């Protein structure tokens, strides 16, 4: 036996409109039936306990396609990694995953952090109430590249095994990652937005092609950290599945992305926080801090232009906040990304789809996640307001009334759901 929810407003992850006054049945962790209240015939579900949620909006559990759970956005992440004792990164990831779930994100895609693999498995066994996790393990890069953390002469990081400097080395590292059981592969095509050449290319097309060759053969996707134009082009020529960041996209590359079915995760929250919160001083002078602010502001303008190209070309845009991936990117603030996608040209409903059904498709979970529909896993949240009217309500903890994982209440807000309901089933 399951339970029914009578919901005032329903966002199903597919429709372009908010459905009004619906009944939704949940059984064995999945949505079993749904229909307009008073019009549909619930049949066998009609005698089930009903949660009175008519004052709330219901939507699929939110999904963040780009996070770094092991990182706390401290001033010097490399120094923290160097001093970590075994298990420290996984414990940080647990705390950050709990914060993420509290804000309605029931699934995340972790884009480099070897300590996440054990947490993913423990969460999958039900040992912790955390989001469902897909993990890349460690990211692949060249020596001295974007994810090469060995910048101390006598230091070697345990999670720095992704350094590879030829197609054959990339094949070996990719196979090692697949042996560990990663869900997807992460490569680093470019540097960040600093330096004289912003987002300059690092990995070659041939190197990234080696990763896609190995990963695609076993049905795994490949994501590319690609900010600059040359790195984006090389990634697409290597048949990469998703461009992470993509700040300096061009119209022709947007067309190529659409043609190939590649996804864009703009990570717009990163640049927003760089501009509004700044950077950790970390030894920088006032002049250097001001320069970094100006670079971030310039990159943000380029990112919004890239979004415009992507929208015009019909590129699939997915939510990826990069929480933990830079200064002041605090876990639990993931919904900032959807606010920024709206500022970049998406409607509120399109931004919600980017954070539900679209990103679920990217993660190859479009058949059971990211939608409120019969047969899908009952990951969902209830909000006190309608996010299609103001997307920013998802960033306020007080608006998250309840978060459900596979039909079970994982996080309860104040005064959730009046009326009869059976706690054994929720």
Q: How far apart are the first and last CA of the chain?
A: 11
- How high is the pLDDT of residue 85? 64
What one-character DSSP code corresponds to residue 36?
E
Phi, psi of 49 (to 5 degrees): -60, 145
Query: What does the alpha-carbon distance between residue 12 and residue 123 come to, in Å, rounded to a whole number?
Result: 25
**Nearest-CA neighbor of 216 among 246, 187, 257?**
187
Tokens for 68? 């770094």
Q: Give the 3-state secondary structure percentages of the chain, helix then strand then coil, rounded to 5.
A: 35, 20, 40
- 258 Cβ neighbours under 8 A, 6+ residues apart: 313, 314, 315
Nearest CA to 247 out of 211, 220, 274 is that of 274
CA 53/CA 48 separation, integer angstroms: 15
Spatial contact of 247 and 306, defined as CB atoms under 8 Å apart? yes
Query: In this structure, what token pair is assigned to residue 17?
Result: 């409109």
- Are 399 and 380 spatial neighbours (Cβ–Cβ below 8 Å)? no
pLDDT confidence of residue 152: 62
Q: Tell me which H or E stretch contains 79.
A: helix 77-83
For β-strands 184-188 and 221-226, DSSP reports them as: parallel
Query: In which order are the strands placed within the sheet that holds 408-412?
Result: 30-36, 19-27, 3-10, 50-60, 380-383, 400-405, 408-412
Q: Which distant-in-sequence residues (6+ apart) come within 8 Å of 347 by Cβ?
A: none
Q: Which domains does the chain have, with CATH numbers?
A: 3-61+371-425 (2.30.40.10), 62-362 (3.20.20.140)
**pLDDT given for residue 154 in this prediction:** 59
Q: What is the separation of C-alpha 165 from the centre of its chain, rounded to a whole number of angstroms? A: 28
Q: Tell me the CB-side half-sphere exposure of residue 340, using CA atoms within 13 A.
A: 28
- Average pLDDT per block of 10 residues along the chain, 426 residues long: 93 97 96 87 80 96 97 69 75 96 98 93 96 96 82 59 94 97 98 70 97 98 97 98 97 98 98 90 84 92 98 98 92 98 98 98 98 98 97 96 95 61 50
CA distance 202 to 170: 13
Give helix then strand counts, H and E, for the chain: 12, 15
- Determine whether 208 is exposed, middle or buried from the number of CB atoms within 10 Å of its CB (0-12, 13-18, 19+): buried
């Amino acid at each position: 036996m399951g339970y029914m929810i009578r919901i005032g407003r329903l966002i199903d992850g597919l429709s372009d409109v908010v459905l009004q006054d619906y009944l939704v049945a949940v059984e064995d962790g999945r949505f079993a039936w749904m229909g307009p209240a008073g019009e549909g015939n619930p049949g066998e579900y009609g005698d089930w306990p009903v949660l009175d949620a008519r004052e709330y909006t219901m939507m699929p559990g939110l999904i963040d396609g780009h996070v770094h759970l092991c990182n706390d956005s401290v001033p010097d992440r490399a120094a923290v990694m160097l001093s970590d004792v075994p298990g420290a990164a996984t414990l940080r990831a647990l705390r950050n995953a709990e914060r993420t779930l509290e804000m309605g994100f029931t699934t995340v895609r972790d884009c480099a952090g070897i300590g996440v693999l054990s947490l993913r498995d423990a969460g999958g066994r039900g040992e912790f109430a955390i989001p469902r996790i897909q993990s890349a393990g460690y990211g692949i890069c060249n020596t001295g590249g974007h994810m090469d953390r060995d910048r101390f002469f006598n230091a070697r990081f345990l999670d720095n095994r992704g350094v590879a400097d030829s197609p054959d080395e990339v094949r070996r590292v990719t196979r090692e990652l697949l042996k560990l059981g990663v869900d997807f592969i992460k490569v680093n095509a470019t540097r960040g937005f600093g330096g004289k050449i912003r987002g300059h290319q690092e990995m070659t097309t041939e190197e990234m092609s080696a990763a896609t060759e190995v990963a695609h053969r076993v049905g795994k996707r490949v994501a590319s950290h690609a900010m600059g134009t040359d790195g984006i082009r090389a990634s697409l020529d290597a048949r990469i599945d998703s461009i992470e960041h993509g700040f300096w996209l061009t119209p022709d590359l947007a067309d190529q992305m659409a043609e190939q079915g590649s996804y864009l995760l703009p990570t717009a929250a990163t640049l927003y926080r760089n501009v509004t919160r700044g950077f950790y001083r970390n030894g920088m002078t006032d002049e250097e801090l001001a320069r970094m602010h100006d670079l971030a502001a310039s990159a943000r303008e380029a990112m919004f232009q890239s979004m415009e190209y992507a929208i015009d070309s019909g590129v699939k845009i997915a939510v990826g906040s990069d929480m933990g991936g830079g200064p002041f990117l605090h876990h639990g603030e993931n919904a900032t990304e959807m606010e920024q996608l709206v500022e970049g040209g998406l409607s509120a409903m399109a931004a919600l789809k980017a954070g539900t059904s679209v990103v679920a498709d990217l993660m190859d979970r479009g058949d059971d996640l990211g939608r409120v529909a019969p047969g899908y896993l009952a990951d969902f949240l209830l909000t006190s307001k309608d996010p299609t009217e103001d997307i920013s309500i998802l960033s306020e903890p007080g608006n998250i009334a309840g978060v459900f994982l596979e039909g079970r209440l994982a996080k309860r807000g104040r005064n959730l759901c009046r009326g009869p309901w059976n706690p054994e089933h929720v």
